[in-house]
Amino acid sequence: MLSPNHTKLFKLLKSDPWVQAPEIPEVRDVIKNIPVTNLRRGNPKPPQQLRHLEQLYRDRIAPHCDLSAFEHCYIVAGVTDAITQFVATHRECWQITRGDYEYALTIGNRGLIHDEPHNRFSLIMSNPYCGTGNIIGFPDIDKPIYCDMAYAGSTPELNIELPDNCEQAWFSFSKSHGLVGERIGLVFTKQPHPSLSLSQAVGMWNYTSVDIAIACLEKFSYCEIPQKYQIVQHQICSELGFTPSDCFFIATTQDPEFDCRKRAPDLPARINLSHCWRYI
């Protein structure tokens, strides 16, 4: 039984437009003794560690998502950073669809928002999908797709086949490992990245974040954390009358009381369950 009472909790859930994974105690235990890496640029260790991280990530995700066509890999400060780099370097208009993650639109002036993907523009889309927290299909468009996979690793099963026109796939440790404050993400690309290939050639990344990511991947298999926490998600949802999403910290509901949390008129309301975790 959740406390506080439902009225108070519903008020909190209705007021929060964002989603966030709860802190994962097992992850906190893994990373608490990692020292800050303060090596000088030019030291060979950070690039070696970065290549080690890349290989580990590729190995871990391989049973769930084939990244073999994505030859290049870069570390970023979360998917937010991947989006910033995309918006800063993409020379043509691009689009997102209504209900998807809107950050890109807020920082650039080449972004368009459409109800359905338009065949004339590159598409930034999240999958697992930000509008519901569920894994979705890819639209059939000719232009490139840039896939925001910030919620990958947060679903008990991940079986995503990236379409041939997917040019980049962006991953994060914020949701999958509850590490939003560490700012860790990986960008996989088919072509060398216009900005990240330059900054990474001169050692411009956070070396400690690479060590943290490695420690997490060495400890947990890809979907292990959401598999464990899905049980709690289902308990919360059955008590509150929500539908559990594929992502373990998200639910949806058609209850009109939560209409303020719909990300588009044709979507159910999306609920950030992480508030409920601490009341269990």
Ligand X SMILES: Cc1ncc(COP(=O)(O)O)c(C=O)c1O
Please give the residue ranges that form the binding site for ligand X (CB under 6 A).
Answer: 18-19, 78-80, 101, 126, 130, 148, 150, 172, 174, 180, 185
Q: How far is the CB of 100 from ligand X (least distance, A)?
A: 7
Nearest CA to 171 among 85, 91, 74?
A: 74
d(CA 98, CA 90): 20
Q: How far is the CB of 149 from ligand X (least distance, A)?
A: 8
Question: CA dist 1 to 238, 239, 244, 251, 255, Å?
Answer: 10, 7, 17, 18, 21
Q: How far is the CB of 103 from ligand X (least distance, A)?
A: 7
DSSP 150: T
Nearer to ligand X, 45 or 88 (CB): 88
Q: How far is the CB of 52 from ligand X (least distance, A)?
A: 21
Nearer to ligand X, 9 or 124 (CB): 124
Question: CB–CB of 129/135 below 8 Å?
Answer: yes
Nearer to ligand X, 12 or 39 (CB): 12
Q: How far is the CB of 229 from ligand X (least distance, A)?
A: 17
Nearer to ligand X, 179 or 236 (CB): 179
Point out which residues pair with 27 in neighbouring strands: none
Q: How far is the CB of 130 from ligand X (least distance, A)?
A: 4
Nearer to ligand X, 113 or 231 (CB): 113
Identify whether 4 is preceded by a cis peptide bond (ω within 30 of 0).
yes
d(CA 62, CA 152): 13
Structure tokens at 84: 């910033």
Nearer to ligand X, 19 or 212 (CB): 19
Point out which residues pair with 147 in neighbouring strands: 125, 169
Point out which residues pair with 149 in neighbouring strands: 171
For 115-135, b/e burial (b = at least 16 CB within 10 A) is eebeeebbbbbbbbbbbbbbb
Q: How far is the CB of 179 from ligand X (least distance, A)?
A: 9
Nearer to ligand X, 50 or 247 (CB): 247
Q: Give 3-state DSSP helix, strand, coil % of the chain, rounded to 5.
A: 35, 15, 45
